[in-house]
Amino acid sequence: MSLLEARQLVRHFGGLRAVDGVDFTLAAGEVHALIGPNGAGKTTFVSLLSGRLPVQSGQILLGGEDITRLPAHARVRRGIGYTFQITSVFPGMSVFDNVALAAQGGRDRRPVAQVVAAALDRVGLTGMERETAGLLSYGHQRLLELGMGLALAPRVLILDEPTQGLAAGEIAGFKALVRSLVPEVSVLLIEHNMEVVMEVADRITVLNFGQVLARGTPAEVRADPAVQEAYLGA
In degrees, rounded to 5, the angle at the alpha carbon of residue 48 between the alpha carbons of residues 203 and 198 is 20
d(CA 177, CA 172): 9
Q: Which domain holds residue 19?
A: 1-76+186-234
205 in a structural domain: yes
Query: Could you say which residues of the chain have pLDDT below 50?
Result: 234
pLDDT given for residue 75 in this prediction: 94
Instruction: Give the CATH number, domain containing residue 1.
Output: 3.40.50.300
222 in a structural domain: yes
43 in a structural domain: yes
pLDDT given for residue 51 in this prediction: 94
154 in a structural domain: no
Q: Name the average pLDDT for the chain.
A: 93
Query: How many structural domains comprise the chain?
Result: 1
62 in a structural domain: yes
87 in a structural domain: no
202 in a structural domain: yes
90 in a structural domain: no
Helix axis angle, 95-104 to 112-123, nearest 10°: 120
Q: How far is CA 119 from CA 4, 38, 175, in A?
A: 23, 32, 17
